Amino acid sequence: MILLAAVAAGLAWFLWAGPPAARRLIASARPRDRLRAVGARVLPVAAVGVSAGAGAVAGGGAGAAIGLSAGLAALTAGVVLRAHRRRSAAAARAAEVADACQLLAGLLRVGHVPAGALRVAARDAPVLAEAAAMLRVGGEVPPVLRSLARVPGRAGLAELAAAWEVAAATGASLTATLDALADRLASRQGVSRVVAAELSAPRATGRLLAVLPVAGLALGYALGGDPLSFLTGSWPGRASLVAGVALGCAGVVWTERIADTEEG
């Protein structure tokens, strides 16, 4: 059981730690932010161990297996919820950037100069507020936009920065470039919505497959058996319970990450 718990703890870390890109982002962060990010990942994994320990104290080996299984299930639910929130936030930011570029392009079309258009647009598009503030103090706009573009969902700001930089260096008109950029970002938004809708079915299927064993338990009782007694009353049963829950959780997270890769 100790070996199984160690394997489950390793799986819990894999579930919560995030994809390699997220780990690289943590490694490149400032020490304080890195400590906070690592703590946010260690604490949930520790909570799984606490759940298993509490179950062991309350019910011995059976309690440990139930506590560990419940902890892994709760951790997986947290991973899925966190991923959903991350996707929703990124989509909202992308829509905000697209709207800001459309607003900026519209102001240029009616005769505003780029600096004036940026200041006016920043009143209705908060994503441009930092760049407008930098402009007011005589700073450069492109570096600010590129810094903001590192946030998931705001990649379009890097294209805006490049267009701004070229216009400032050559004196070329920014209006046509921003019109094209606004149209491209709007089209990208439409494609992203279609892809997200298409991927919702595989995500739902993965979650459904993870809860099907519960229906299997109900079927076992309907046929006159007592599957829970086997799963909690013997070491092979407890190992099967923990392994089954762990594999089901890994399947859900694996499906989510494959969908995220295709969506990204």
Q: What is the pLDDT of residue 25?
A: 44
Taking alpha carbons only, the member of 256, 261, 258, 262 closest to residue 85 is: 256
Exposure string of 21-44, with b = 16+ CB inside 10 Å and e = fewer, is eeeebbeeeeeeeeeebeeebeeb
Pair of tokens at residue 114: 């780029």
**pTM for the full model?**
0.74
Q: What is the pLDDT of residue 57?
A: 76
Pair of tokens at residue 262: 């295709």
CA 86 to chain centre: 4
Q: Are 69 and 54 in contact (CB under 8 A)?
A: no
- Residue 234 makes CB contacts below 8 A (sequence gap 6+) with none
Taking alpha carbons only, the member of 192, 179, 131 closest to residue 157 is: 131
Query: H/E element holding 94?
Result: helix 31-109
Please report which residue ranges of 125-234 form alpha helices under DSSP H.
129-136, 141-148, 156-170, 175-222, 227-233
- DSSP one-letter code for 223: T
pLDDT in tens, the chain (264 residues): 454 455 555 555 555 555 444 444 444 445 555 556 555 566 666 777 777 777 777 778 788 888 888 888 888 888 888 888 988 999 999 999 999 999 999 999 888 888 899 999 999 999 999 999 998 888 899 999 999 999 989 999 999 999 998 888 887 788 888 888 989 998 988 888 888 888 888 888 888 888 888 888 888 888 888 888 888 888 888 888 888 888 888 888 888 888 888 776
Pair of tokens at residue 188: 């990208």
237: left (phi over 0), alpha (psi -120 to 50) or beta: alpha
Exposure string of 118-128, with b = 16+ CB inside 10 Å and e = fewer, is bbbbbeebebb
